[in-house]
Structure formats: C-alpha cells, structure tokens
Structure 1
Amino acid sequence: MASGTADPYDLRGNRILAALPKSERERLRGHLEPVELAVGDVLWRPGERIEAVYFPVTGVCSIVTDLDNSTVEVATVGDEGVVGLPVFLGVATSTERCLCQVPGRALRMDADRFRHEIAVLDGQLQQTLQRFTQSMFTQLARNAGCIHSHLTHQRCARWLLMTADRMHSDRFPLTQKFLAQMIAVRRSSVSEVAGALAEDACIQYSRGIITILDRDRLQAHACSCYRIIRDALDTALPPHADSA
C-alpha cells in the first residue's frame, strides 16, 4: 500500500494520484478539497445523484447493499483507489449506498470537475482509473465467492488485514456493526468470531478498537482471497510506482 507522508493530505498518499506524473497531480491539486471522514458519514445513497468523488488518503469507505432485513458490504475502498467509480463509468447514480467505515482523510473533487479532468488529462488519469476498476472487479468477484465458500474466521482475518493495509497501522477503530457487515454475519456473532482470533493471539478487540498482535498468524487464518485481491491491486497500481 502507499506509504504515509508528512503532509496528511499529500496527494501521493493516494495510490491513484501517486501513479500520475507530478505535473498532472499539480494540475489536479486546485480541484481537490481536503476533508475529514467520520464513521457513518454517507457519501451517496441509492438513486441520488453522486455529487463528488473521493480519493482516500487514510480511512476506509464501504459500499453496501441494503436488503429487506439486512445490510451487506460488497466492497471497500481505501488509499488505493477512488470512491465514485459510477461517475467514472458514466452514470450519475448508484444502486448501492456508500459510507465511511473507518475514519480518515480524503481529497474530494466535484463530480462534474472529475468528468472534465478525465477528458482533458490526455488519458493518463483515465488509464489509471481503468486499472483500478479492474482490481475492483477482482475484489467484487472474490467477495461474492468468499461469502459462500470460506469460513467466517477466514473472512474476518482477510478483512482485518485489508483494513490494516489501508490504515498503515496494526491498530484501528472498527465497530461491531461494520465488522458484521464485512464478514456477512449477525452482530451477535461478531464477538464469537473476534474472540476466536483473540484466543489464538492474533488480535485484540476492545471497545471498538482492533489491534493486530501477530500479523503472520492472522494471515495464516485468512483465506486465499486476501493475497489474490492484494496482488490484483499491486498489478494495477504498483506500490513502488514513481511518484516524483
């Protein structure tokens, strides 16, 4: 994942922006507004016009589907990507809801300006977004299969590792509500799942704070989806791309 920088809103803290030539990042700078994202902040709702896209620098945003009696997470986005792919794909609304899952910082761009910049930046931003979109397809496909084929504690370990990667920290806030959505279980089952990983000395979960105690041990619990999703992202947006 992209490395942390001294400036909390450094454009290079986002993998998509870091992949662009410096001159193009500077062109975009004036159209990017630094914003703080708090847990539960809704970025868009089903059927409503998406007014802005967000390039997270820290934190995690969740895309969820609201079903009749439950809410299921279908994808997450952190500093590796952009929140607002429907706009890139040419539509103004979404059938899903997007909200902040783990608090952090992002760079916000008006949706109309975003459309304009895609058209005028000589394909560089568009090509980078296309590669990110492909990695998102991988995440969506693996998520769909993972729910039906992998054990609950494997899914939990995978999601915790992905969140730690995006936060660049082994300690981060995560509510029971979001953890339940992440691993597609009832909230009443969260304590049992997290407790099993805690008993194996992988994590500590206390008052909404996750602390990863042994990353290698946690990764041994995770399903293969973790590595596949991460490899797909690293192929699309190499973590050591030149951002000078």
Structure 2
Amino acid sequence: MAHVSNVRTSRSVPAHQIINANAIAALKTKEKGACTEQTARSAPRALAGLHGHNPRHNGLLAALPAADYERLLPHLEFVEMPFGMTICEAGEQMQHVYFPTNSIVSLLYETADGASSETAVIGYEGVVGHDVFMGGGASLNRAFIKTAGYGFRVRASVLMEEFSRGGALQQLLLRFTQALFTQMAHTVACNRHHTIVQQLCRWLLLSLDRLQSNQISMTQDLIANMLGVRRESVTEAARKLQEEGLIHYSRGQITVVDRVGLEDHICECYASIKRVYEGLLLN
C-alpha cells in the first residue's frame, strides 16, 4: 500500500469560507415565499455567498420531508471544501457532519506505518460522518477531499439530536450507511482479487457518478495512493485505456471519452455497488 501524506493539509475551514446564518435564513425565506421589503434587499446578497448551491443539492437532504428539512436548515453551514483538506483523522471524534453538494470525499484506511488505501468515496449522494450517528465514536478512517467543491455541515450534536427523533432522517442515514458499507466491502474484494485495469475503471466510474462532467483532476501518483498500488501499475493501466480510446490523460487531467467502453472493462464490483445505492437511496 502507498503513502498519502503528501496531500495532508489543515483540517480547519477558514472562517471566511463559512457563510453565516444570514444566507441560510435568506434561503429559507426564499423557499417559503415569505419576503418582506428588508429581506428582499438582503436575500440576493446573502444567497450570492452560496455560489449557486443549495442544501437540496445533496441527495439525502433533498429526500427529507419539508418539516424535517426546515428543522435542520437553520443549523446548516455552507462550506468550501478544497482539494486535499482533511476533514477528520482516524481515531478522532468528528465535531461536524458534512453533506457534500459537488465535492467528493475519500475515506482512507491507514496502517501504523503510514501506508493507506481508499475504502470508499462519498459525494452529493451522501454524508461524511457516519461514525457519529452509528455510535462508534471516533472515526475509523481519515476523510479527505479528493475533488474540490462545496457542501453543508452541521454540528455533530445537532445531527445526533435529530437522529434520535427517529423518522425520515434516521432512516435515510441508516440506508446510506448500509450502502456505504457495501461499497467498502466490494472495494476491499476488488483491490485484492481483480486486475489494476478493472480497479482503475471502477475508481473512475465511481468518481464520474459523483461529478457533473467527464473530467477528473487527479495525478497518477494520487490514484496509486488511493488504490494502494505502485504508480507504475497505474501508468500501465491508464496507458492501456488511453490506447483503446476510452480515456485521455494529460497533466493530471483525465477525460473519459468512452464511458460504455470503461463499463465493458469493469468487474462485477462497480455494478453491485451502483445497484445497491440505487436500491437504497433512490427508492
């Protein structure tokens, strides 16, 4: 397995990257359609700070009934999620739970000597911080942002209070966690039993499913770190896919040219993961 210490950065989110409660209040006012003269003047300016994002851009928050959503909304903080930022180290207690909108978070399992590999990815479909509401306490993985973007976060204590109510939020979080555990299990099996080409195709497709484009910004070194293999193995696999016209790779930018072709190369792991996510989260 490979080291990923080269992507460690500060875990804290700078204060200027957190939009204050005025933006959330303006969003709530806009959604309710109740707008006074004063809020009409302030709402556009406050909402501009959200960069076009909305909590409903996260799949779990979008699935909440109106009453549950409005109860949680005042507690949500809009955050920038820059590439390489570590949200939580393994063994630490998370103080916030994150709902990505267009960023992708990688969960990494690390050994005592610093070697690591990716166990799962989380994007707009889910939540980062399942250890909080599953009662496990400290995080088992290091969570770091592998694709920059934005999201919303809520204090762990607030989420736990909402989770304890039962109802829709609890059910959604439990169903997502089941899907996440399924992804972890298939990832472990895939990394052990399938070829590097199959692993790379699975990794690319899981990333594409969480992006709005066919481009992925990622160096081969970092991909190797994620898969827990040698860089030379990733270079060879990427060259094979590029020669077949499935991807184009240049200077840390991967463009998927033929998604169907990638799907022809994958093992059963990707299809199984996708089927579980669709069954648990889209129904």
Q: TM-score, with normalisation over the residues of structure 1? A: 0.90
CA RMSD after TM alignment: 1.7
**Letter of the 2:170 counterpart:** Q
Give, in angstroms, the shift of residue 7 of structure 1.
7.0
- What does residue 74 of structure 1 align with? 119
Listed one character per residue, the Cα deviations across residues 189-226 of structure 1 (whole Å, up to 9, x for unaligned) are: 32222111111111111111111001111111111111
- The SS at the match of 1:55 is strand
- What does residue 35 of structure 2 align with? none
Q: Which has the higher contact order (CA 8 A, sep 6+)?
A: 1
Higher helix share: 2
State how far apart, in whole Å, the 2-side matches of 1:205 and 1:70 are.
26
Among 143, 156, 172, the alignment partner of 2:187 is 143
Structure 1 residues 68-217: aligned runs within 5 Å: 68=113, 70-120=115-165, 122-217=166-261
- What does residue 16 of structure 1 align with? 60
8 Å Cα contact 2:248/2:257 also seen in 1: yes
**Letter of the 2:204 counterpart:** L
8 Å Cα contact 1:55/1:83 also seen in 2: yes
8 Å Cα contact 1:101/1:178 also seen in 2: no
State how far apart, in whole Å, the 2-side matches of 1:184 and 1:46 are.
17
Give, in angstroms, the shift of residue 21 of structure 1.
1.1
State how far apart, in whole Å, the 2-side matches of 1:65 and 1:138 are.
16
Listed one character per residue, the Cα deviations across residues 70-112 of structure 1 (whole Å, up to 9, x for unaligned) are: 2111111111110000001013312321111111111111111
Q: 1:85 to 1:177 in 2, by over 3 A?
A: farther
- What does residue 233 of structure 1 align with? 277
State how far apart, in whole Å, the 1-side matches of 2:138 and 2:207 are.
26
8 Å Cα contact 1:20/1:125 also seen in 2: yes
Structure 1 residues 18-97: aligned runs within 5 Å: 18-67=62-111, 68=113, 70-97=115-142
8 Å Cα contact 1:60/1:101 also seen in 2: yes
State how far apart, in whole Å, the 2-side matches of 1:123 and 1:7 are.
31
Q: Which has the larger radius of gyration?
A: 2
- The SS at the match of 1:139 is helix
- What does residue 3 of structure 1 align with? none
Q: Alignment identity in percent?
A: 40
Q: 1:20 to 1:228 in 2, by over 3 A?
A: same
Q: 1:191 to 1:8 in 2, by over 3 A?
A: farther
Give, in angstroms, the shift of residue 181 of structure 1.
2.9
Deviating 4+ runs (over 3 angstroms): none
Listed one character per residue, the Cα deviations across residues 43-84 of structure 1 (whole Å, up to 9, x for unaligned) are: 111222211110111121111112225211111111111000
State how far apart, in whole Å, the 2-side matches of 1:181 and 1:136 are.
20
Unaligned runs of 5+ in 1: 1-5
- The SS at the match of 2:83 is coil
Mean CA deviation greater in 183-192 or 99-108:
183-192
Give, in angstroms, the shift of residue 116 of structure 1.
1.2
Listed one character per residue, the Cα deviations across residues 98-135 of structure 1 (whole Å, up to 9, x for unaligned) are: 11111111111111111112123x42100011111111
**Letter of the 1:112 counterpart:** S
Unaligned runs of 5+ in 2: 1-49
**Letter of the 1:163 counterpart:** S
State how far apart, in whole Å, the 1-side matches of 2:259 and 2:236 are.
20
